[in-house]
């Protein structure tokens, strides 16, 4: 359980079990289901997890876990979750060579409501980045898929990644990290501007 001296860097990123996936969908469905009932949202999520793109390890569901509340008999607590989607990508290098390789999209990033504001999302993304950079991921590039808007993401970028270029895919736009807050949103505070 997250307490005053809680250290999110000690949490563990691992693949979710089927039961954990469903528990995470129930938790994030309260915010993301929009006009769907929770039951319809769960059905949609389960069908989506069996789509052609998701088969054979194409979609992997992850949980960020740590010790649970011993007083309540919890051995382990899920603090956050996300999914990665493996897709073929076409890469064209500066010398004009074209190749098809694998990339990963990161989507469905969610911190459980009671644990927000404790840097858990930051550490979740750091440990996800470490996995994406590993041999296990077998990916040349990765992108964060998001619908929360450029300004919101840019306000977190430095804290989440800390270094290096990243491409962020937002509503079809591919944005370099040096982008200073371009958005279709009506209001975009200057506080979200990010410098190289």
Q: Which domains does the chain have, with CATH numbers?
A: 8-146 (3.40.630.30)
72, two tokens: 């309540």
Model confidence band, residue 180 (pLDDT cutoffs 50, 70, 90): very low
46, two tokens: 């389960």
Taking alpha carbons only, the member of 135, 146, 151 closest to residue 102 is 135
pLDDT computed for residue 146 by the predictor: 64
Instruction: Name the residue with higher pLDDT: 193 or 31.
Output: 31
Q: What percent of the chain has pLDDT over 90?
A: 21
What average pLDDT does range 7-33 have in this prediction?
90
Instruction: Name the residue with higher pLDDT: 161 or 74.
Output: 74
Which distant-in-sequence residues (6+ apart) come within 8 Å of 117 by Cβ?
A: none
pLDDT computed for residue 148 by the predictor: 55
Model confidence band, residue 92 (pLDDT cutoffs 50, 70, 90): confident
- pTM given for the model: 0.71
């Amino acid at each position: 359980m997250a307490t005053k001296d809680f250290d999110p860097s000690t949490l563990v990123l691992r693949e979710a079990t089927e039961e954990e996936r469903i528990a995470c969908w129930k938790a994030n469905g309260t915010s993301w289901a929009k006009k769907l009932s929770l039951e319809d949202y769960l059905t949609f999520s389960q069908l989506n997890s069996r789509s052609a793109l998701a088969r054979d390890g194409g979609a992997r569901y992850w949980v960020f876990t740590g010790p649970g509340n011993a007083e309540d008999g919890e051995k382990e607590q899920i603090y956050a979750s996300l999914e990665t989607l493996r897709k073929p990508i076409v890469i064209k290098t500066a010398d004009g060579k074209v190749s098809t390789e694998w990339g990963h999209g990161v989507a469905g990033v969610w911190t459980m409501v009671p644990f927000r504001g404790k840097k858990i999302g930051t550490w979740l993304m750091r440990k996800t980045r470490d996995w994406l950079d590993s041999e296990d991921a077998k990916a040349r590039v990765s992108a964060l898929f998001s619908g929360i808007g450029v300004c919101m993401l840019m306000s977190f970028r430095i804290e989440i990644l800390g270094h290096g270029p990243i491409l962020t895919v937002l509503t079809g736009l591919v944005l370099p990290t040096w982008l200073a807050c371009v958005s279709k949103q009506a209001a975009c505070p200057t506080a979200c501007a990010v410098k190289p």
